[in-house]
Amino acid sequence: MAKVRKNIFVQGLSGSLGKQLVLKQGRNGTIVSKYPEFDENRTFTEAQVNRQNKFREAVAYAKNAKGLEIYIEKAKLSNRLPYHVAISDFSNPPEIREVDVSAWNGQAGQVIRIMAVDDVLVTQVHVSIMDDAGTVYEEGAAVQDDDVWWHYVTTTMAKHSAHVIVKVRDLPGNVTEWIR
- So what's the pLDDT on residue 10? 64
- So what's the pLDDT on residue 34? 86
pTM over cut 0.85: no
pLDDT, tens digit, 9 for 90 and up, residues 128-137: 999 888 889 9
Residues of the chain short of pLDDT 70, as ranges, are 1-12
CB crowding 25-63: b at 16 or more within 10 Å, else e:
eeeebbbbeeeeeeeeeeeeeeeeeeeeeeeeebeebbe
